[in-house]
Amino acid sequence: MRQAALIYSDDLATHILSEEHPMRPVRLSHMHELASASGFLDAPNSRTVAPRPASDDELALAHTTEYVEAVKKLDIGEGHDVAARFGFSPGDNPVYPGIFRAQALSAGSAMVAAEQIAGDVDVAFAPAGGLHHAMPNRASGFCVFNDPVMAIRSLVEKGLRVAYVDIDCHHGDGVQHAFYDTDAVLTISVHESGQFLFPGTGFTNETGAGAGAGFSANLPLAPYTGDEDYARAFDAVVPPLVNAFKPDVLVTQLGIDTHMLDPITHLRLTAQGFAGTVAKLGALAQESGKWIALGGGGYDLGAVARGWAMAYAVMTDQDIPDRIPESFASPGNSTDHLQEFADPQPPEPEGAVRSQISAFADRSVEQLQMLLFPRFGIS
């Protein structure tokens, strides 16, 4: 039975980006409440570990000193004249009081996860992490500090090979950017195609450069892709590449903005489809023995609560009950769907559209198999 750690405290869930912003950190407390009410945190192989703020040296694993100092100034109400230069704006990446403290704590949760797997923990889940868009000197896509890059670099510095699998609906561009020219890290991103969704990258021909040529894999999918096509494409690409790479550690970004109720994306996964993918990642992690799981996107509060609670049940080898505990109060937006963990299957698209969605997935798979499988000797 895997030993698991949930990296969590209520301090992670208290800040507000803006009243209108779709990223609502309170979603973390809803997930924690549901996992607790369902008994997932009571398992003998589960522990809850408090996060800590990332240090300046840890932030430097992913970011320039100039950028980190700029965020510190914004935290105390200074430096607004240069905020735009570092990617901050009233829309996606607003400045708010305490921004450095809040984001350093979120990033630090991923570093604590990395520390936990160095001991007797097999899987560490930091749901506040997974902020995969931030660049070395720029905030991007709701992300200030790129904690996946920080955690992965800390592992690579120890001589470990890392496979990173990102299932957020958005392409993990910041992580790809960081490791595009190295063969120490395999990055795989399964996402809605950049033809239709921010950040507009993550196409199959983005396969790495220099020493990293062939170590970047992108599996773009069409809008309205559902559980069946998603699973088929995932199975055809992700397990073969991860198994061929033979990582020492699997790092995953578990964004649940792929959910059919998410308000800003277009894939159509159910909560059980998401949990099934997490279970497949868990099986891959058994090979390496160590697994760091990070959060990411997810903008329907009910879907986040269910999806990440289910993910932690998978990590701790627990059965997921059919019903949501009556003691759990719905966080709403999807209040009508919180009586059960599983979703009703959404209606299938009309025939021609359904065929186009499947064909899109098949093309992406075929292109990746042609571009990358020979590099790893996969037939």
Query: How much is the pLDDT for 217?
Result: 98
Please determine, for residue 329, whether its predicted confidence score (pLDDT) is greater than 80: no
Q: What angle is formed at CA 165 by the lines to CA 144 and CA 366, rounded to 5 degrees?
A: 125
For residue 289, the model assigns a pLDDT of: 86
Give the rounded percent of residues in the chain with a pLDDT score beyond 90.
Answer: 93
Tell me the mean pLDDT in the region 334-346. 76
Compute, in degrees rounded to 10, the torsion defined by CA atoms 360, 365, 370, 371: 90
Residue 146 CA to residue 129 CA, distance in Å, equals 8
Quick: pLDDT tens for 138-152: 999 999 999 999 999
pLDDT of the residue at 332: 57
Q: For position 379, what pLDDT does the model report? A: 87
Confidence of residue 351 (pLDDT cuts 50, 70, 90): confident
Angle subtended by helix axes 227-245 and 271-288, to nearest 10: 10
Query: CA torsion 268→278→264→325, rounded to 10°?
Result: 90
How far CA 254 is from CA of 119, 244, 309, 379, in Å, comes to: 23, 22, 12, 29
* pLDDT per position as a tens digit, 363-373: 999 999 999 99
Q: How confident is the model at residue 328 (pLDDT cuts 50, 70, 90)?
A: confident
CATH number for 4-376: choose from 3.40.800.20, 3.10.129.10, 3.40.50.150, 3.40.950.10. Answer: 3.40.800.20
Q: What is the pLDDT of residues 221-276, one digit of tens each?
A: 999 999 999 999 999 999 999 999 999 999 999 999 999 999 999 999 999 999 99
Residue in 32, 132, 133, 259 annotated catalytic:
133
Task: Give the pLDDT mean for 131-138.
Answer: 98
Return the closest-CA partner of residue 12 out of 316, 338, 308: 308
Is residue 166 classed as helix, strand or coil in its secondary structure?
A: strand
Mean pLDDT estimate for the chain:
96
Region 192-214 average pLDDT: 98
Q: For residue 266, indicate whether it is catalytic.
A: no
Instruction: Name the pLDDT band for 350 (thresholds 50, 70, 90).
Output: confident
pLDDT at position 347 is 87
Of the given ranges (177-181, 287-291, 294-298), which has the lowest mean pLDDT? 287-291
DSSP string, 248-287: SEEEEE---TTBTT-SS---BB-HHHHHHHHHHHHHHHHH
Q: Which amino acid is present at 160?
A: L
CA distances from 258 to 144, 223, 233 (A): 22, 10, 15
pLDDT at 1: 87
Over pLDDT 70: what percentage of the chain?
98
pLDDT of residue 200: 98
Cα dist. 138→61, 144, 174, 271 in Å? 14, 7, 10, 32
CB 174 within 8 A of CB 205: no
Give per-residue pLDDT as tens, 18-33. 999 999 999 999 999 9
d(CA 364, CA 172): 17
pLDDT value of residue 29: 96
**Dihedral angle computed from the Cα positions of residues 77, 79, 82 and 87, in that order, rounded to the nearest 10 degrees:** -50
pTM value is: 0.97
φ, ψ dihedrals at 309, nearest 5°? -65, -45
Note the pLDDT tens digit of each residue in 149-180.
Answer: 999 999 999 999 999 999 999 999 999 999 99
Q: Taking 70 as the threshold, does the pLDDT of residue 89 lie above it?
A: yes
Q: Please state, in angstroms and rounded to a whole number, the distance separating the CA atoms of residues 110 and 112.
A: 5
| The token pair that represents 162 in the structure block | 């890392």
Q: What pLDDT, on a 0 to 100 scale, did the predictor assign at position 339?
A: 85
Position 336 scores a pLDDT of: 46
SS3 180: coil
Please say whether the beta carbons of 372 and 214 come within 8 A: yes
Cβ atoms within 10 Å, residue 11: 18
For residue 334, the model assigns a pLDDT of 52
14: its two tokens = 């208290």
What average pLDDT does range 118-132 have in this prediction? 98
Return d(Cα 170, Cα 168) in angstroms, integer.
5
> CA nearest 315: which of 50, 113, 170?
113
What is the band of 287 on the pLDDT scale with cuts at 50, 70, 90?
Answer: confident
**Residue 335: per-residue pLDDT:** 45
